[in-house]
Amino acid sequence: MAAATITPAIANNTSGARSKQKKAKPKRSWTGWMFVGPFMVVFLAMVGAPIIYAIYLSLFKEQLVGGNQFVGFENYLTLFSDDQFWDGFGRVVRIFIIQVPIMLGLGLLAALAIDSNRLRGRGTFRITLFLPYAVPGVVAVLIWGFIYGDQFGLSASFNDFVGSHVLKPLSSSWMTWSIGNILTWSFMGYNMLIMYSGLKTIPTELYEAAEIDGASRFQEAWYIKIPAIKGQILISFMFSIIGTFQLFNEPNLLKPLASNVITSYYTPNLYAYNLSMNGNQYNYSATVAIAMGVITAIIAYATQARSQKQEGN
């Protein structure tokens, strides 16, 4: 009988505890949002809103009759057959193919040289290579514009000295190399520093094991150092993709010195700028900007996905 009377009490206590557990819900903590909130507000205001507005503009077109009207994706269809856009796009692709491998290769060699412990004055050498990155982009182009000037600059002085028009940095056949040289001068030290920071994280035990096995300095660099900093090289490559496809300052500032060579559509970004500022074609300018953003994002994503797939294999 005692057991019979106790059992309902236990059951009641158990059911009461379960009901309390159901009622007691964990309190939501807003601490994380207090840290993330300010960034999200700034991001949405400074990045998200302009992108949304640019997409909105690209869906309209200024008509001779009726004013600004909604046309859907007509601007994008027009862009696909725009020879000026594709001419500028092909030019930045050529600059990317020629300049980026040279810049990253030189940056990698410089990082390996500094990390080898055989270079005297490594600190001075590192600062010297990084210093051009600290120079504002506009100032850097103005400096090189004076060097390239074949009427008043260093190139003109050299041509006068040799008595022949040897240097022609602002000619149509040299312009791609001239712009690529400015980009390499400005950003090689930045990429060198990214790779060098990766080299400093490699455990010294790997070098000791390689030395015991009789590996040379070249073999250490090829089989240990370079594979260990693939992530840093990929980051530099991704930044180079984005930077090259956003090329604007260099051709825009060199245009007064070579107006016959650098056209208003020399690069897609320069094309979008001139459409908006000089042609009052804001809707089509937004279309060019959105298209370049999408193309750049696709190329960068494909590069990263391919790299991760190779690491997985």
Please indicate, yes or no, whether residues 67 and 108 belong to a single structural domain of this protein. no
Domain final residue pick, 72, 104, 132: 72
Tens digit of pLDDT for each residue in 266-277?
999 999 999 999
296 vs 31, which has greater pLDDT?
Answer: 296
Please indicate, yes or no, whether residues 50 and 87 belong to a single structural domain of this protein. no
Please indicate, yes or no, whether residues 192 and 237 belong to a single structural domain of this protein. yes
Buried b (16+ CB within 10 A) or exposed e, 226-255: eeebeebbbbbbbbbbebbbebbbbbbbbb
Please indicate, yes or no, whether residues 92 and 43 belong to a single structural domain of this protein. no
Among 268, 291, 296, 267, which residue's Cα sits nearest to residue 80?
291
Please report the pLDDT score of residue 73 as a whole number.
93
Report the 10 Å Cβ neighbour count for 274: 18
Q: What six digits make up the tokens of 11?
A: 């059951």
- Taking residues 86-103, report their average pLDDT: 94
Per-residue pLDDT at 11 exceeds 70: no
Please report the pLDDT score of residue 22 as a whole number.
53
Question: Domain range for residue 55?
Answer: 30-72
Please report the pLDDT score of residue 1 as a whole number.
44
Domain final residue pick, 19, 41, 72: 72
Please report the pLDDT score of residue 207 as a whole number.
86
In a domain, 1, yes or no: no
Q: What six digits make up the tokens of 174?
A: 């040299």
Per-residue pLDDT at 3 exceeds 50: no
In a domain, 106, yes or no: yes
Please indicate, yes or no, whether residues 193 and 154 belong to a single structural domain of this protein. yes
Tens digit of pLDDT for each residue in 114-170?
998 777 888 898 999 999 999 999 999 999 999 998 888 889 898 898 888 888 999
In a domain, 120, yes or no: yes
- Taking residues 216-220, report their average pLDDT: 89
- Taking residues 230-250, report their average pLDDT: 93
Please indicate, yes or no, whether residues 87 and 205 belong to a single structural domain of this protein. yes
Full-model pTM:
0.83
Q: What six digits make up the tokens of 210?
A: 């390689």
In a domain, 54, yes or no: yes
Query: What is the residue-wise DSSP string for 236-301?
Result: HHHHHHHHHHT--HHHHHHGGG-TTTS-TTSSHHHHHHHHHHTT--HHHHHHHHHHHHHHHHHHHH
Please indicate, yes or no, whether residues 186 and 58 belong to a single structural domain of this protein. no
Lowest mean pLDDT among 48-52, 232-236, 309-313: 309-313
Per-residue pLDDT at 176 exceeds 70: yes
In a domain, 8, yes or no: no
Please report the pLDDT score of residue 263 as a whole number.
94
Please report the pLDDT score of residue 33 as a whole number.
83
User: Mean pLDDT for the chain?
Assistant: 87
- Taking residues 233-240, report their average pLDDT: 93
User: How many domains does the chain fold into?
Assistant: 2
Task: Please enumerate in sequence order all residues whose Cβ is within 8 A of that of 201, keeping only pairs 6 or more positions apart, or say none.
Answer: 228
Q: What is the domain-level CATH number for residue 270?
A: 1.10.3720.10
How many residues would you count in the chain?
313
Please indicate, yes or no, whether residues 44 and 161 belong to a single structural domain of this protein. no
Please indicate, yes or no, whether residues 58 and 166 belong to a single structural domain of this protein. no
Please indicate, yes or no, whether residues 60 and 199 belong to a single structural domain of this protein. no
